[in-house]
Structure 1
């Protein structure tokens, strides 16, 4: 069994803070912008297309476990400041919210890289405040600017416990397209990788 690296910070108090901020009096909303859209891994009562302003989806977070290894890091999506992001919000009944948030922490916060925060999400049925996993540009897991040839190399080589970076990116792109969401940056990267294959 592979030993997981030590988290960069303790995720437990971050979960307790998020639970406190949620408050427990209303249903929980969770914003998905990457794999949560096509593999949420939790039960939800409702889901809606949503847009967040002030943040954008970017394939700029190193993954040394799920989609790569310490020797050959892969990439996963993070939400970085600036622009806007279309994705999906999921509503969880309040009686199941603590369990779902604990499950999300086991999945998304193993290394405690993300900064969980509550973001205003705009839907066709009005705005909701949803939990989102954002990434700081100051994080050691933020890639910074990667050259096209680096993306091609990562797509060709990186594979972790949940599969390859390329399959993860393609699955996200396919689900976004199915939902009518066009991510130009992701489309360009996948087209680039296809040419190099």
Structure 2
């Protein structure tokens, strides 16, 4: 059986594993938002950044990409993703149904936020998010790079996220 991974943030532009197929997909019941403080990759303990996570919100859906893992690489891909995504246990690994644009529904590996984790910060006003993202830097680089790459990639594939688009414009203003 094929292994699928749902990408909604950095997995859109930096999956880090061999992808055999990618299809635009929708994950019902979850919203993409900057609701996780990043203390490793895009910020530090002293000055946390923000990264995207999927927050369970009834009546919403997140559009992203379903990525089919190259056959024969499933084990190493799962190991890689767990090392990357579960660095601080703020994400929970789930297998959820993703509705793909071509009509298929697949079970995909999805990393969603643990709303009980101390890195969870759902509900921050967009202006506060912009102020944090504009300044934070972590082990994988500036928080701005993460935002700009994600917003750019969503636009390239024709997916719109009004909050992300607003943040992209506002953080560019702040960084002038």
Cα RMSD of the aligned pairs, angstroms, is: 1.4
Give yes or no for the alignment of 1:84 onto 2:95: no
Q: What residue in structure 2 maps to residue 38 of structure 1? A: 13
CA deviation after TM superposition for structure 1 residue 152, in Å: 3.1
The TM-score with structure 1 as length reference comes to: 0.82
Q: What residue in structure 2 maps to residue 15 of structure 1? A: none
The TM-score with structure 2 as length reference comes to: 0.92
Q: What residue in structure 2 maps to residue 117 of structure 1? A: 94
Q: Hey, which of these two has a bigger chunk of helix by percent?
A: 1
Name the SS of the counterpart of 2:90 in structure 1. Answer: coil
| Counterpart Cα distance in 1 of 2:126 and 2:4 | 35
Name the SS of the counterpart of 2:73 in structure 1. Answer: helix
Q: What residue in structure 1 maps to residue 122 of structure 2? A: 144
Q: Hey, which of these two has a bigger chunk of strand by percent?
A: 2
Deviation track 1:123-164 (CA, whole Å, cap 9, x = no partner) reads 114110100000122221111322344223312310001111
| Counterpart Cα distance in 2 of 1:147 and 1:128 | 34
Q: What residue in structure 2 maps to residue 70 of structure 1? A: 45
| Counterpart Cα distance in 2 of 1:149 and 1:99 | 39
Q: Which runs of 5+ in 1 are unaligned?
A: 1-25
Q: Which runs of 5+ in 2 are unaligned?
A: none
Name the SS of the counterpart of 1:103 in structure 2. Answer: helix
| Counterpart Cα distance in 2 of 1:90 and 1:149 | 32
Q: What residue in structure 2 maps to residue 156 of structure 1? A: 134
Give yes or no for the alignment of 1:95 onto 2:72: yes
Alpha carbons 1:27, 1:94 under 8 Å: kept: yes
| Counterpart Cα distance in 2 of 1:60 and 1:112 | 14
Alpha carbons 2:5, 2:110 under 8 Å: kept: yes
Q: What residue in structure 1 maps to residue 113 of structure 2? A: 135
Deviation track 1:74-94 (CA, whole Å, cap 9, x = no partner) reads 011100012100101111245
Name the SS of the counterpart of 1:146 in structure 2. Answer: coil
Alpha carbons 1:67, 1:159 under 8 Å: kept: yes
Alpha carbons 2:32, 2:54 under 8 Å: kept: yes
Of structures 1 and 2, the larger Rg is shown by 1
Runs of 4+ off more than 6 Å = none
